[in-house]
Structure 1
Amino acid sequence: MYNPTVARLTYRALLGRRRALILFILPGLLLVTAIAVRLLTGADDQTTADLLGGFALGTMVPLIGVIAGTGAIGPEIDDGSIVYLLAKPVKRPVIICTKLLVAVGVTIVFSAVPTLIAGLVLGGNSQNLAVAYALSAAVASVAYSAVFLLLGTVTRHAVVAGLVYALVWESLFGSLVAGARTLSVQQWALALGGKVADGGLVTSDVGLPAAVVLLAVVTAGATWYAGQKLRGLTIAGEE
């Protein structure tokens, strides 16, 4: 379920355009903030949890997921160049799975890795906070990439829709409305990170079994439906 040519084209699309600038800006901002906080306040576990949970996992990870997920396929559909790819003897599920793997890889590199480094800078992995939040970021990267890749196949306004979900649902409603938190990728990912962290600073409103099931269902469901939409696009093009 992986095609090197499709992967190479997808990496080039993600890292060779203006959106790549944002991919570097957000992690850079996190690291600069972490260094500044450490120099000004010293090591503090609560501060580490607040910064990694609020900025890294709550804002940076979903935004990078939007950029990578929608950018993996959305621009090709918008400008019509997807037709040339679909004309190749590559199965549609392989195209989707390859693009998803690329989007996941990019999101993890630009979100989970900086989260780990920022956590080490802030507190030296005290109470396993750096590893816990990095794990949460990596897990969230998979689900976000699948969801936003799906958006890229169903709407020409995938970036706008992704930003609405990331900033309004995840960040705003997810922090204010208790019921909304149970339907939040961020909370599902935190459930896994909470099992790694010590001291109870990493918490989730969703239990671990439910979180694992929801992450699996959403990721698999979004990937499958994206493949179906791509197959429909092929049929329309052939007709």
Structure 2
Amino acid sequence: MNPTVVRLAFSSLLGRARSLGLLALPLVLLAVCLLARLAGGEPQSSDGTLGRAVLSGLGLAVVVPLLALLVAAQLLGNEMDDGTIAYLLSKPIPRWHIVVSKLVAAITTTLLLGAVSMALASLILDHTDPGKALGWAVGAAVASVAYSALFLALSSMTKHSVVWGLMYLLVWEGALATLLEGISWLSIRSWSTRIAGWAGDMSVISADSAPLGYAWVASGVVLVAGTVWAAYRLRGLSITGDD
């Protein structure tokens, strides 16, 4: 990891006005939970029907992956698209240092905006059980790490990473997940939900969910594989940033 690259990555994320749009996603999640709480009048269990629909169906399925996708695209995809990645490639810095540094910035940003907002959303629904809020935060943290690595690798492969990322979320983790039970074994959302249920001692898992150990291992594999692939792709780029 290179501290200078990390600093530049955070500057890229926080120094642009359009980055404020990232805040809209967690704010929407919190607003939905607040409306649900006000409409119900009493605390809503975060592992009940409503809590599962909001925190898993909206938080883990939409907010966290979209945050990771937008952050990864801005940190690497946009730089490869406009050619500014050539500035880093021209420096005597190993390519894997660049990837790891950007991954650290991506994970940190997604964690702060995603995992923290998931914990707050759970507390809004039911402030009497902080253990469940911690569980959702842990699940969101695992999802943040895995999605960041996946979308960073995707950003290293194509200039249209946002489009392909959205297709992955809509088709694979969305439509197909509702039709094919086996998708849960290859779904980051399913793994993170399984881990959230374990961490918060909640009954949010379905009968076809992958085992807990598999969920941890699979998330780690995505992290390592995504990082290695992104570094490999950067090694294949010329100094001008051409594919």
User: Normalising TM by the smaller chain, what interval?
Assistant: over 0.9
Contact map agreement 2:157 2:233 (CA 8 A) in 1: yes
* 1:237 CA displacement: 6.0
Structure 2 counterpart of 1:194: 197
What is the CA–CA distance in structure 2 between the aligned matches of 1:22 and 1:176, rounded to whole Å? 33
For residues 13 and 131 of structure 1, do their structure 2 counterparts lie closer, same or farther at Cα, with a shift above 3 Å needed? same
State the one-letter code of the partner of 2:81: D
* 1:165 CA displacement: 1.1
Contact map agreement 1:127 1:199 (CA 8 A) in 2: no
Structure 2 counterpart of 1:126: 129
State yes or no: 1:90 paired with 2:90.
Answer: no
For residues 165 and 237 of structure 1, do their structure 2 counterparts lie closer, same or farther at Cα, with a shift above 3 Å needed? closer
Contact map agreement 1:49 1:201 (CA 8 A) in 2: yes
State the one-letter code of the partner of 1:212: W
What is the CA–CA distance in structure 2 between the aligned matches of 1:219 and 1:200, rounded to whole Å? 27
Q: Which moved more, 1:41-50 or 1:97-106?
A: 41-50
What is the CA–CA distance in structure 1 between the aligned matches of 2:147 and 2:107, rounded to whole Å? 8
Task: Note the residue ranges of structure 2 that are not aligned, 5 or more in a row.
Answer: none
Structure 2 counterpart of 1:26: 25
Provide the TM-score with structure 1 as the length reference: 0.92
State yes or no: 1:100 paired with 2:103.
Answer: yes
Residue by residue, what CA displacement relative to the aligned partner does 1:30-50 show, whole Å, maximum 9, x if unpaired? 111111111110212112222
Structure 2 counterpart of 1:43: 43
Contact map agreement 1:72 1:99 (CA 8 A) in 2: yes
- Report matched runs for 1:86-235 at 5 Å: 86-124=89-127, 126=129, 128-203=131-206, 205-234=209-238
For residues 6 and 77 of structure 1, do their structure 2 counterparts lie closer, same or farther at Cα, with a shift above 3 Å needed? same
What is the CA–CA distance in structure 2 between the aligned matches of 1:128 and 1:83, rounded to whole Å? 46
Contact map agreement 1:66 1:159 (CA 8 A) in 2: yes
For residues 126 and 171 of structure 1, do their structure 2 counterparts lie closer, same or farther at Cα, with a shift above 3 Å needed? farther
What is the CA–CA distance in structure 2 between the aligned matches of 1:121 and 1:127, rounded to whole Å? 10
What is the CA–CA distance in structure 2 between the aligned matches of 1:178 and 1:14, rounded to whole Å? 37
Match of 2:81 among 78, 83, 90: 78
State the one-letter code of the partner of 1:161: W
* 1:15 CA displacement: 2.5
What SS class does the counterpart of residue 145 from structure 2 fall into?
A: helix
State yes or no: 1:16 paired with 2:15.
Answer: yes
Provide the TM-score with structure 2 as the length reference: 0.91
What is the CA–CA distance in structure 1 between the aligned matches of 2:241 and 2:166, rounded to whole Å? 29
Percent identity reads 39
Aligned residues, how many? 237
For residues 175 and 140 of structure 1, do their structure 2 counterparts lie closer, same or farther at Cα, with a shift above 3 Å needed? same
Residue by residue, what CA displacement relative to the aligned partner does 1:6-43 show, whole Å, maximum 9, x if unpaired? 11221122233354233111111111111111111021
State the one-letter code of the partner of 2:224: A
State the one-letter code of the partner of 2:28: L
What is the CA–CA distance in structure 2 between the aligned matches of 1:175 and 1:13, rounded to whole Å? 37
